[in-house]
Amino acid sequence: MCSPNINSSFPNYFSNISRLYESNFKRIANSQGNEKHYVLKQELNETMDKLVGIFRNAQDLQAALGKVKELKERFSHLGPPQSGLKFNHDLLAHLELEANIDVAEAIVIGALMRKESRGSHSRKDFPTRNDNEFLKHTLVSYDAKGPITAKYKPVMIDKYQPEERKY
């Protein structure tokens, strides 16, 4: 977050971001594992397709969360990418996979928290919409030093009143 004194905060902000990227690249380049990114990516895709589709239930979501956490652990054992920074698709695949795993975890946690059906989120175990408890946004955030956190933010209703979709 930027402080009111923009001139003094930007150099520090960009310097911190630069150090973060540099340490991330070094971590990836020095990895010594034997996992392959394309194997983890395929397993992540299959898990999300099979267990976290539009029609969801708690049992499948719990299984998906367990698999995503397993993939997150296995990601730390990836083999090093091909060397070089120019047009290094292997390095790009490493970075994308890490982000994909984080997003998958956020999706599953948010879906588990929302015990209702709404829009494209349909829970077989909670088939109806519940505005009394879930007319709110689900926010998931990460902190490099701590666990994932999830919370709700109220929906600001101004012009249009929410209503159930009728198809």
Q: How many angstroms separate the CA atoms of 161 and 121, rounded?
A: 20
What is the model's pLDDT at position 25? Answer: 76
SS3 69: helix
What is the model's pLDDT at position 55? Answer: 93
Q: How many angstroms separate the CA atoms of 131 and 23, rounded?
A: 44
What is the model's pLDDT at position 1? Answer: 43
Domain segments of the chain as ranges: 8-129
Q: 8-129 has which fold?
A: Methane Monooxygenase Hydroxylase; Chain G, domain 1 (1.20.58)
Task: Decide if 71 contacts 63 (C-beta within 8 A).
Answer: no
Per-residue confidence in pLDDT tens, the chain, 167 aa: 444 544 555 567 677 777 777 777 787 777 888 899 999 999 999 999 999 999 999 999 999 999 999 999 999 898 877 776 677 788 888 889 999 999 999 999 999 999 999 888 899 999 999 988 889 999 999 877 778 889 999 999 988 888 777 77
SS3 147: strand
Say what the pTM is: 0.81
* Residue burial 9-20, b: 16+ Cβ < 10 Å; e: rest: eeeeeeeeeeee
Q: Please tell me the chain's helix, strand, coil percentages from 3-state DSSP, rounded to the nearest 5.
A: 50, 15, 35
